[in-house]
Amino acid sequence: MEHKKENNFAYIDGANLHNSVLQLGWKLDYKKFRVWLQHRYHVVNAYIFIGLIVENKNLYVYLQEAGFILVYREITYDGTGKVKGNCDALLVLKTVCNFYEKNYDKAVIVASDGDYAELVQFLKEKEALRMVVSPNNKCSYLLRKQNIPLLYIDTQRKKVERINKSAL
């Protein structure tokens, strides 16, 4: 009997992941993280949703070379001048469109924001949720209260931490 190879996609809130890991006191090695997603969850395509800032061109090249598909959103600024990517709706839309187009078997959501609670519930109901990966210090109660597979990224620190200072 032939075993069907999993075809899972990851949907990553780029700013949420980056900022949450920094708050944990370490930096993520995106190349290691991409390999980890592939080996652990059979992620074929990994999308990072990120605000487009021209000065971050080198970062975008690095992420693409690491194997991520970047989905850009035009940035805005809040009242204090802080950059806002506001990629939440775009991540939800891409995940749901890919589901209905039958592009993946299951989704891995990498985020800690409660704004994704309805998406996670939808995927769970459709039996299309593989895992939610979140930093535990920032995981919203709206995600934690659901009976879903949830992994805290800091439990994988040794596997995905950036050690080399030259990596972005």
Higher pLDDT, 84 or 143: 143
Domain membership flag for residue 150: yes
Can you tell me the distance from the alpha carbon of 72 to that of 91, in angstroms, rounded to the nearest whole number?
Answer: 10
pLDDT mean over 9-23: 93
pTM above 0.95, yes or no: no
Confidence (pLDDT) at 76: 76
CA distance linking residue 25 with residue 154, whole number of Å: 10
CATH number, domain of 91, equals 3.40.50.1010
Residue-level pLDDT at 128: 98
pLDDT per position as a tens digit, 100-139: 999 999 999 999 999 999 999 999 999 999 999 997 777 8
pLDDT of residue 138: 75
Question: For residues 31 and 160, what is the distance between their CA atoms, to the nearest angstrom?
Answer: 8
Question: Could you tell me if residue 67 is inside a domain?
Answer: yes
Question: Exposure string (b/e) for 28-66, b if CB count within 10 Å is 16 or more?
Answer: bbbbbbbbbbeeebebbbbbbbbbeeeeeeebbeebeeb
Is residue 68 a part of any domain in this protein? yes
Decide if 165 is inside a domain: no
What pLDDT is attached to residue 166?
56
Count how many domains the chain has. 1
Task: Say if residue 2's pLDDT is above 60.
Answer: no
What is the residue range of 30's domain? 8-160
Whether residue 1 is contained in a domain is answered as no
pLDDT above 70 coverage of the chain, percent = 95
Q: What is the reported pLDDT for 41?
A: 97
Q: What is the mean pLDDT of residues 32-55?
A: 96
Give first-to-last CA distance, the chain, whole Å: 44
| pLDDT given for residue 81 in this prediction | 75
E strand map for the chain: 8-13, 43-52, 69-74, 76-77, 83-84, 107-110, 129-134, 150-152
